[in-house]
Amino acid sequence: MSVTTGLKGRAETIVNDSNTAQAACSGALPVFGTPFMCALMEEAAWKSIAPHLEEGQSTVGTKLNISHDSATPVGMKVWAESEVTQVDGKRLVLKVAAYDEKGLIGQGTHERFIITDQRFLAKCAGKLEG
């Protein structure tokens, strides 16, 4: 399997009290929080790529350059879409966008890297060693 340009993904949720700016401590208002929009964009991206990887591989997000352009109230559906625009070895670049029922709410680019799970986790665990 391999990741190719044009690969698309989608993830969606409903705005509720647990994914507002208030819940994320990223603002004082009860609207869809930017950190949750970012997470939805990443979810669309990694879930679309995962079936195209070899067993024991995953991707990790390394960059997210986005704008959050429109607020979404509690109770409204939101979704994110991703598209792989560049494959450079293990480095993947995606176009990402988020929408609510009234239109575009955010957009930008996202970078992920293909990693080997065990090697990545071993390196991470090494931080706990003296």
What does the domain layout of the chain look like in residue ranges?
8-128
Written as tens digits, the pLDDT of the chain (130 aa) is: 699 999 999 999 999 999 999 999 999 999 999 999 999 999 999 999 999 999 999 999 999 999 999 999 999 999 999 999 999 999 999 999 999 999 999 999 999 999 999 999 999 999 999 7
Fold of 8-128: Thiol Ester Dehydrase; Chain A (3.10.129)
Q: Which of 20, 68, 81, 110 is catalytic?
A: 68
Identify whether 81 is a catalytic site residue.
no
Strands (E), 1-130: 8-14, 57-68, 77-88, 91-100, 103-116
Q: Which of 20, 42, 59, 111 is catalytic?
A: 42
Q: Which of 4, 5, 13, 34 is catalytic?
A: 34
The residues, ordered by sequence, that sit 6+ positions from 55 with a Cβ below 8 Å of its Cβ are none
Identify whether 110 is a catalytic site residue.
no
Identify whether 20 is a catalytic site residue.
no
